[in-house]
Structure 1
């Protein structure tokens, strides 16, 4: 499905994608003293999503796992109903950013044009450019999930997630979204400077994989906003666990969509805001 196109180059090569991090000379102030150091900084680049040759969205994102990002964004935004509606994904390096070019089914493209939607997003901004309130307040189908987790598994899961955040360790500037299996294994991890982007990347990876979404959980290193709950419900996952708190709108959506929502997941504690029965605490 995926291919990377380089200017004046016939052979595809993922190696030409922009780096996910770069180095800068900095002055660090610590304990009353200044020190010159070299620091690693996370990159963010404009990523244009084009459907059947028409530009639809431009997001600032970390230039990694862009095929997952494009597929996950397409699914979570309702542009396509199924991965089968995406016939191909090409990644094209351009002088001012990266274009991810998707070929989608005619019916999906007709629906996309009818929505007349053109996003121009800042980092992690899932709603920038939405033209109407009706487009924002989408209601996902109710999630039917058999997921069930002991509280201790959440602690262990976030420890696994942190251990696999290579870009965060290098830069301190990225979020991550992970997929927690029923057996407590964190099977997939995706990182990005934007929390929505990280979750879209995870959604794309899940759509291309063989995970049992009815029995797993999404874990994220961010707050649980409305968009994060909406994307989790679109995946079909029954549990969203976040290290920070939710918004009131997110709690209401989790209640109506059947998503178990846990926030402030820290060592030995969390707060269950919706459908706590999947966390075996009541």
Structure 2
């Protein structure tokens, strides 16, 4: 079972001087971004910087976060150059993010082209066609793409293509469909970054909302966003005590049982286990 992250921090591959700072931010996953955060004229230099850092990490450099890489879509020449660079450099990353995923074939190709390059695969759903095919993409985890661990919402591109606002209301429908598709196939659901860096109350509110919807992880674009987001994902002491009590009462293989005067069955037991997983 893949490790369950709470936060992912993007860092532009154009800014290699920020890689170590990002790795020290406390984010569960740090993702070097070769796609949206890189100017089209500087893709080659950014790619070289990312490969050098991934090679250095293999020699023991870097911080404690898991390290990811977002490539450009393999439907473009620049994306194919990313794939070739990864294969030729022989680098390995914890998480490979595949942008603008619209079919299981793109994920299957990553397994075939880069069999040793990544531990987990995350499909970014950020087009109307991707949303329509989210269930098909998630289903690839059972066959074509066994290392697929999560679906992630790409809100900026999606809102632009939809003609919707890049805010809570504009993305609400897509969020619900993505979570449902991910859960239908046992995958994690990761949410888009909150882009108003200075608005911490807004960040906290949106993080609470996505957690309530069922998301496991939320992306960030600045290190200062990590601590407030972790604060939201951390269960309260009341929740933790309840979850520990439920799990302890379930030892011995009960079906439905009473705990503190309330009926507990399998769904509630799984909720308790999920709370303890988040707490840890």
Tell me the TM-score normalized by structure 2: 0.33
- Bigger relative contact order (CA 8 A; separation at least 6): 1
Tell me which protein shows more strand as a share of its residues: 1
**TM-score normalised by length of structure 1:** 0.32
